[in-house]
Amino acid sequence: MGRGVGRRRSRVPQREGGYEVVSKRAAIGAAYWLHLAAAPTFAIMAMLTAVIGGGSMDALCSAAGASPLGGMVPMYLLMTAFHAAPWLKLIGSHARTSRKDWT
């Protein structure tokens, strides 16, 4: 075997305090803000679809008068509800900290 074959080092240090830790922190920070962005994004999409109208997409997504819950607006509202958990946790944590300040 030649020198260095099979023993190549990665460019990212594997020790604490190096690039790996910084990139993990950046990824965690990005994931935190990204999961908070989902619910407002779906709510805005529901409002825009309701105001502007779904057009041909509503015709594809729901049968003609089959259900009042058919269409894109109820789907976006449902997705908003499913992605509301991070906001509820954030609001709950602020409520707990403010309650501690009053006691």
- pLDDT for 64: 53
Q: Which residue has the tokens 């015709």?
A: 59
CA distance 36 to 82: 12
Residue 95 or 6, more confident: 95
Question: What is the number of H-type helices and E-type strands within the chain?
Answer: 4, 0
Residue 13 or 89, more confident: 89
CA distance 61 to 4: 58
Could you tell me if 76 and 42 are in contact, meaning their C-beta atoms sit under 8 angstroms apart? yes
Burial class (CB in 10 A: 0-12, 13-18, 19+), 50: middle
- pLDDT for 32: 85
At 30-87, the pLDDT tens digits run 888 888 999 999 999 999 988 887 666 555 555 555 566 667 888 899 999 999 999 9
Residue 2 or 74, more confident: 74
Q: Write down the pTM of the prediction.
A: 0.58
Whether pLDDT at 12 is above 60 = no
